[in-house]
Structure 1
């Protein structure tokens, strides 16, 4: 089997992707999620075994680089009741000796390990590197390594006069080795087949990249050794040979697609999507351990570090089944929606609808947190094509779904806002009780052409907001809406209904003269509505003072903010580059109202910010993550700290007071106790506490951590502190467990020297 990974890094949900997006485009998006760069961490004793010099924790497992230049790939483990399964393969270069392994291009990331209660064993401020160089591994041939979300890249630099056929690489831990019909190197392991991509070779000549034909060659003596054969090239210029270890995280021998993600209170990660793979990993005791048809829905649960597969199940029937959105209730039960072509998709006795209705039906299914039991499952649909794309739960556990339906007999309820089907495809919004036994409310909303609902959100009062896009000039706006007129080919819509779906409280178009698509919606604490998607309209409406008021070319991402009544466009911005393809697919807000958007871009000039994790476009489609302040006026920088107004280093004596200035982009208080400020000193770790009244340094303190406003000034007398150098770390405890451990993220540091 070939393992296929999902790179779970942020809440990147495809519940917004519909049938209008081509399958190859979905595949491209998913593949590009894997390409985030992962730095190599220097081993300062935190990894047992003196031979390890650097390592990188990719989502495809950990790769270790030893002092003598060996590459050790620890493929991901998953747990069963009998044992923990895993596998290790090693690569070493044949006929050479390596002793000059070193990190290059030091990354901004620093890593600290505060494990155990003994401070002498803590590791702080460990450097990380974007590259690891093995130096000259053969005469005039250098080797460098890069790590990404799911793979590891070897870069051989074959200089003028060198022979590329000198490169010979031995693989240990292989059961077999072969080159497949696509030119990929396949390594059979105890977990299945691990692939190395077909090698790429090229030269940089006069500022242009010149491709060179390249292929793997297998050498029988010694066993499991491979090399490279290349076509003609300019022997006076350096040749780069670039194979990738295309490892995986979770999947089977065929295609697997992840579409939605959710986290429970303990940080466990739930994902859903669909799989063609009969060997997609399932766990003993799962609800359904057998693949049922060509495409099955899967639901998988992983621990917070993504190192263990805690539970995994199929769910489906004998035809095609697609999972698109997932949500969890307060008890940890798992709800999914999507659509199914299977008349035998599993339903439960007493469900709202136990019968499949047409070509394809929406399904809603509820499993327990261990994925061992199907608690409830129902069909909902009419006699033609119905698709569920997004799901949300209210505080009472009622279930809301939205999507699109083609026919007039999709079920509506007596007091629905609109009981009549309006055109070819209509948006639907449906509400079921938590046991999925009763359809509490259901309505159409749409016009005479095609309308698609892609994302749903609920406010504190139970009102329902949806977004998507419409071709219908008569899609229903409400009087006083921001925009009551359809603008072009297809427009974004945002609509608000009451909790019983009996009244359209507000509804507006937003768009320009070309194609505009809304894919994700989020609400802030004040009820303001944020949407993202993409637009091909140069006249899509920005607002004065927005981050970017000009359309950049082709398809741009848009981010727009409306008030809760949808009567006013409070803020709206473009963001993108000069390519045709910049698409926003998911949006989220933090406690301070900052706005995060993710999607993908083909534009090498998509705007990064100075000091960003990766300021360079990596090729073809790249994933982007962009952060704005709440009024969309600027791409917001990260929070930072200053000591006595300086970025440091500063020098103080015993008579001074140190003033720590903590600046956030928030507009108000962040009511969660997960921020911390710590000092790494020769005398131990000191934590700064702030409760609104007193400021203090406490040696070895681990909580409670302090609250922050958007701007804090924390004062502390230096008197009594030992002389020495203090590195102050400001960050956030990402698991909010009161411990500053490996799960912490550092935002900024400043150095303070204290004299006698």
Structure 2
């Protein structure tokens, strides 16, 4: 999952109150605002093992965001992170603030096999973040990453800072991220300018190389760090934006880099191809030994914003590209760049060899921010666009009124199945997407629109502040 800055398990369906029937194409079940009188954004969503939605984000509102009896019902100041649980009928189950007196953001979340939730984000707060005995109990630089483990009722089990004397969030809006393995291991990825407190001795890259390096850190389920490494070259920035763990316990990390060295080894492409950045993917085994790594980009600026594991340990990557070359392959939905930035999605096999790649875009800028893949290989995309022409027949929203959220599904071979806008009259983006085996997908983002966001009878039918978070649930047919 991924997120950007503001720009201007199977389930018992009856228990969760899912309504509506499957149709020939996806259809919106419900949409709701989520926010108070100030600003909110929701960059991350994941389903837990019972089919409930877990939504994470940030808020500047002192009311309306926490439920009675939650872990933290008091707004800490400046910006607080929040985490909330929703059923598939659109009712809020619980929600809590999380943070101190400065700026705190949750940006991504994942659920383990025990239905425990890991939320990751950034913090500038010197208190209210880490639990006693955590890996790192104090803020080290101007801002650090924070990693918090919650139980399924929204109470923290442990929480830690992660960072050195520099900055651990690059400001691109695309990092950090978290993923879990089948053995309970937790991987934290992001970016850093710090020269200490990041990597473990003997790791793949124990010292920072570039202006900003990516980092990958492995923790046990109890919050004990196993190993950590920098990842980057000597002549440019490298940022990790997403990760996934395969069936053998290998961790695959994607992001963007401007480094021409220290990045690629085997896989699809060993050469930096130019522009401000290329995407990259690297695979480490469970012990932190690199297996392969590849660039993914053309002669202009390219970014991998999110990754998701696909069947047979393939990896789906998604992002945006200004390049007319080296991104898309013939026989997919669109192998011609359309102008500005185009969204793209591509599939790599377990050895890092590209299977296919396709654009989806218009003559202006279009972005893919997050991706999820169903067990059958269907790909779900959350993104953002401001130009008409991307909605397919029978999309629930075919009208563009400015910046709009974009929801798209692709087949396992790169064919576009369905695409719809999701927005109103004020501007929004979809930053997170998640698939659930009950036949639904959830999208979250940020909106400034007063119409076309919430459905009748939703939890919150009106924009409350200058921007609100929003949640959309879609009933799927092609899963």
| TM bracket (short chain) | 0.7 to 0.9
Note closer, same or farther for the CA distance 1:673–1:604 as it changes in structure 2 (3 Å cut). closer
Note closer, same or farther for the CA distance 1:272–1:746 as it changes in structure 2 (3 Å cut). closer
Indicate the residue corresponding to 1:572 in structure 2: 357
- Verify: 1:265 aligned to 2:49, yes or no: yes
Bigger shift: residues 525-534 or 585-594: 585-594
Q: Is 2:198–2:230's contact at 8 Å kept on the other side of the alignment?
A: no
- Verify: 1:630 aligned to 2:412, yes or no: yes
Task: Give distance in 1, aligned partners of 2:280 and 2:110.
Answer: 23
SS at match of 1:271: strand
Task: Give distance in 1, aligned partners of 2:477 and 2:46.
Answer: 25
Indicate the residue corresponding to 1:455 in structure 2: 242
SS at match of 1:386: coil
Task: Give distance in 1, aligned partners of 2:400 and 2:362.
Answer: 14
Q: Is 2:252–2:282's contact at 8 Å kept on the other side of the alignment?
A: yes
Indicate the residue corresponding to 1:422 in structure 2: 209
Residues 259-294 of structure 1, C-alpha deviations (whole Å, 9 max, x = no match): 111212222221111111111421222111111121
Q: Is 2:408–2:418's contact at 8 Å kept on the other side of the alignment?
A: no
Bigger shift: residues 457-466 or 542-551: 542-551
Note closer, same or farther for the CA distance 1:286–1:631 as it changes in structure 2 (3 Å cut). same
Uncovered stretches (5+) of structure 2, i.e. residues with no partner: 9-18, 170-174, 420-436, 441-472
Indicate the residue corresponding to 1:392 in structure 2: 179
Indicate the residue corresponding to 2:100 in structure 1: 317
Q: Is 1:578–1:605's contact at 8 Å kept on the other side of the alignment?
A: no
Q: Is 2:65–2:82's contact at 8 Å kept on the other side of the alignment?
A: no
Note closer, same or farther for the CA distance 1:456–1:471 as it changes in structure 2 (3 Å cut). same
Shift of 1:673: 9.6
When the two chains are superposed, the root-mean-square deviation of aligned CA atoms in Å is 2.7
Task: Give distance in 1, aligned partners of 2:161 and 2:62.
Answer: 24
Q: Is 2:274–2:298's contact at 8 Å kept on the other side of the alignment?
A: yes
Match of 2:79 among 277, 282, 295: 295
Q: Is 1:407–1:424's contact at 8 Å kept on the other side of the alignment?
A: no
Shift of 1:462: 0.8
Which residues of 2 match residues 494-509 of structure 1 at below 5 A?
A: 494-501=281-288, 503-509=289-295
Task: Give distance in 2, aligned partners of 1:111 and 1:24.
Answer: 33
SS at match of 1:249: strand
Shift of 1:543: 1.6
Indicate the residue corresponding to 2:278 in structure 1: 491
Note closer, same or farther for the CA distance 1:432–1:271 as it changes in structure 2 (3 Å cut). same
Task: Give distance in 2, aligned partners of 1:601 and 1:744.
Answer: 19
Shift of 1:744: 11
Residues 708-751 of structure 1, C-alpha deviations (whole Å, 9 max, x = no match): xxxxxxxxxxxxxxxxxxxxxxxxxxxxxxxxxxx995859xxx
Q: Greater CA radius of gyration, 1 or 2?
A: 1
Indicate the residue corresponding to 1:379 in structure 2: 161
Which residues of 2 match residues 632-647 of structure 1 at below 5 A?
A: 632=414, 634-636=415-417
Q: When the two structures are superposed, what TM-score results if normalisation uses the length of structure 1?
A: 0.51
Residues 95-151 of structure 1, C-alpha deviations (whole Å, 9 max, x = no match): xxxxxxxxxxxxxxx9679xxxxxxxxxxx9xxxx9xxxxxxxxxxxxxxxx9976x
Indicate the residue corresponding to 1:411 in structure 2: 198
Indicate the residue corresponding to 2:225 in structure 1: 439
Residues 645-683 of structure 1, C-alpha deviations (whole Å, 9 max, x = no match): xxxxxxxxxxxxxxxxxxxxxxxxxxx8989xxxxxxxx
Q: Is 1:347–1:354's contact at 8 Å kept on the other side of the alignment?
A: yes
Task: Give distance in 2, aligned partners of 1:390 and 1:532.
Answer: 15
Q: When the two structures are superposed, what TM-score results if normalisation uses the length of structure 2?
A: 0.80
Identify the structure with the greater strand proportion: 1
Note closer, same or farther for the CA distance 1:111–1:375 as it changes in structure 2 (3 Å cut). closer
